């Protein structure tokens, strides 16, 4: 009961997490470089043609309602509603040939696991495959022992991949419960309310002194068994419990999640929008020692705000009325985050990725809408920045109408291998499934995207 009380305060088995992180550091003999990933998850599947891979010379029904804009990369154009990204594209990489054939949403697990078998609508075992973030949490741990390794702002459980076979200790730490943020409706209207952020608030009647008393009592219980311990295990457990108490009662984690501690000038740069405030907290989290942060960029908990089927299917909308308002907001969020990471000296060690689960149909008018686009797993685009990687380039290409991959296909296992190589996780590492069988972290012969390294 006492052990459960302590672990439950932070919503995860904190001592186990800290213990593993210490083992990772000990095995390497030195502290690893503090690299991090921030994933901007565009839940629903953004249209490749109306964002990063426009087809301005095609007929209207194919090219869509938006014009294009030149970028900092000569000869490269993107959607007119991404002007800030266009100016910064020499610091970014566009991949226009992502192979999403096996991907679906609700749950959005194929690209977040890097495993083409992790599609729950066709494979009942899909939910057991661990997310890339969870595997990084297992094999690398957090960059600071008082911080969780994997944090997510979650709108819907179906929008994220979890730890699966690895166990719940590698599930994401849900940031929504730890910080005060504005509450939006499922169509993106600010209600004026703010979340409680009561995760770090101790239950009524449970004081800091009582928690310390419980920790001391557990130490006394362990001393009764200390003569049976030949390897110092109990002494180590005591240290991990002390760190767990520090995570809950200490200031590092609480400070990182507290956006009010950020200078007003920086808060103004990001703005008051929910997603932008989450992006600012994401920067604070990697600065404090979190390894992987995912932002679930969706207003509603169904298939996702970027699922732009058509104007007559609320709350999705079509390209003009559904996607149109999202793009300037996303453009500001992405570029502000990248610039802020650079200003804080974090950009070279933090990889920022923006993507969804698939692309959209080349032609508009799906499901009797005027300008909606349906799911299209044949090809999608994504954007990357930072991490000290080689940027200022476009990788791959789609065909003339944006409907198929023309050159340089990049698969979900390739993306996984790229992230593991960036984070220093061995590509030949494996984990155990429920039957104790080893499974490789990189499936289907995935290879790191060589152009980035």
378 half-sphere exposure, CB direction, 13 A CA radius = 16
Three-class DSSP category at 394: strand
DSSP string, 204-268: TT--HHHHHHHHHHHHHHHHTTGGG-SSSHHHHHHHHHHHHHHHHHSSHHHHHH-GGGS-HHHHH
Three-class DSSP category at 186: coil
pLDDT tens-place string over residues 400-421: 999 999 999 999 999 999 999 9
Question: Looking at residues 270-299, what average pLDDT do you find?
Answer: 98
Span of 49-63, 90-104, 213-227, 284-298 with lowest mean pLDDT: 213-227
Q: Which residues pair with 278 in a beta bridge?
A: none
Confidence of residue 11 (pLDDT cuts 50, 70, 90): very low
Quick one: pLDDT at residue 272?
A: 96
Nearest to 23 by CA among 265, 196, 283, 233: 233
| Cβ contact 239:271 at 8 Å | no
Paired sense of beta strands 438-440 and 430-432, if any: antiparallel
Q: Which residues pair with 184 in a beta bridge?
A: 190
pLDDT tens-place string over residues 244-272: 555 555 578 889 999 999 999 999 999 99
* Helix, strand and coil in the chain, % to nearest 5: 40, 15, 45
Q: Give the span between the Cα atoms of 370 and 133, in whole angstroms.
A: 38
- Of 198 and 13, the one with more pLDDT: 198
Nearest to 219 by CA among 6, 448, 436, 439: 6
Average pLDDT score, the chain: 88
pLDDT tens-place string over residues 122-144: 999 999 999 999 999 999 999 99
Confidence of residue 105 (pLDDT cuts 50, 70, 90): very high
Question: Looking at residues 63-86, what average pLDDT do you find?
Answer: 98
Question: Looking at residues 45-60, what average pLDDT do you find?
Answer: 98
| Cβ contact 195:179 at 8 Å | yes
Supply φ then ψ for residue 199, to 5 degrees: -60, -40
Q: Give the span between the Cα atoms of 359 and 130, in whole angstroms.
A: 23
Whether the predicted model's global pTM rises above the 0.75 cut: yes
Q: Give the span between the Cα atoms of 319 and 338, in whole angstroms.
A: 26
Question: Looking at residues 274-295, what average pLDDT do you find?
Answer: 98
Question: Looking at residues 378-407, what average pLDDT do you find?
Answer: 98
Three-class DSSP category at 347: helix
Domain chopping of the chain, boundaries: 30-143+150-194+291-452
Which CATH architecture fits 30-143+150-194+291-452?
3-Layer(aba) Sandwich (3.40)
Tally the residues of the chain: 453
109 half-sphere exposure, CB direction, 13 A CA radius = 26
DSSP string, 317-335: B-IIIIITTHHHHHHHHHH
Q: Which residues pair with 153 in a beta bridge?
A: 295
Tell me how crowded residue 391 is: count the other CB atoms within 10 A of its CB: 19
% of the chain at pLDDT higher than 90: 74
Peptide bond into 107 cis (omega under 30): yes
DSSP string, 272-331: S-HHHHHHHHHHHHHHHT-SEEEEE--SSSSS-TT---BTTSTTTB-IIIIITTHHHHHH
452: which residues sit within 8 A by CB, 6+ positions away? 93, 384, 389, 390, 391, 395, 418
């Amino acid at each position: 009961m006492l052990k459960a009380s302590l672990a439950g305060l932070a919503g995860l088995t904190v001592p186990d997490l800290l213990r593993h992180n210490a083992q990772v550091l000990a095995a390497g003999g030195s502290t690893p470089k503090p690299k991090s990933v921030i994933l901007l998850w565009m839940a629903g599947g953004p249209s490749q043609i109306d964002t990063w891979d426009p087809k301005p010379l095609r007929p209207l029904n194919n090219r869509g309602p938006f014009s294009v804009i030149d970028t900092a990369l000569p000869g490269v154009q993107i959607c007119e509603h991404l002007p800030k990204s266009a100016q910064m594209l020499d610091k970014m990489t566009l991949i226009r040939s992502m192979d999403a054939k096996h991907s679906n949403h609700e749950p959005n697990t194929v690209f977040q696991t890097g495993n083409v078998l992790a599609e729950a609508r066709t494979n009942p075992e899909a939910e057991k495959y661990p997310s890339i973030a969870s595997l990084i949490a297992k094999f690398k741990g957090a960059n600071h022992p008082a911080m969780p390794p994997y944090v997510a702002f979650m709108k819907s459980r179906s929008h994220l991949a979890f730890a699966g076979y690895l166990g719940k200790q590698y599930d994401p730490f849900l940031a929504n419960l730890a910080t005060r943020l504005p509450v939006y409706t499922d169509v993106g209207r600010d209600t004026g309310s703010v979340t409680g952020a009561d995760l770090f608030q101790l239950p009524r009647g449970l004081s800091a002194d009582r928690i310390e008393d419980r920790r001391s009592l557990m130490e006394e219980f362990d001393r009764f068994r200390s003569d049976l311990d030949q390897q110092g295990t109990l002494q180590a457990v005591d240290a991990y419990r002390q760190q767990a108490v520090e995570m809950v009662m200490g200031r590092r984690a609480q400070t990182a999640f507290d956006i009010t501690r950020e200078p007003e000038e920086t808060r103004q740069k990001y703005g008051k929008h929910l997603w932008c405030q989450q992006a600012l907290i994401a920067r604070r989290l990697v600065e404090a020692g979190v390894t992987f942060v995912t932002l679930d960029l969706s207003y509603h908990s169904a298939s996702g705000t970027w699922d732009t089927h058509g104007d007559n299917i609320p709350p999705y909308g079509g390209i003009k009325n559904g996607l149109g308002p999202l793009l300037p907001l996303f453009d500001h969020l992405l570029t502000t985050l990248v610039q802020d990471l650079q200003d804080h000296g974090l950009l070279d060690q933090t990889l920022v990725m923006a993507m969804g689960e698939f692309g959209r149909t080349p032609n508009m008018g799906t499901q009797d809408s005027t300008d909606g686009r349906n799911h299209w797993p044949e090809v999608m685009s994504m954007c990357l920045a930072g991490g000290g990687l080689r940027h200022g380039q476009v990788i791959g290409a789609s065909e003339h109408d944006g409907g198929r991959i023309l050159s340089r296909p990049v698969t979900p296992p390739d993306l996984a291998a790229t992230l593991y190589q960036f984070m220093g996780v061995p590509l030949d590492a494996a984990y155990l499934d429920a039957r104790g069988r080893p499974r490789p972290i990189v499936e289907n012969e995935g290879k790191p995207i060589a152009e980035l390294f």
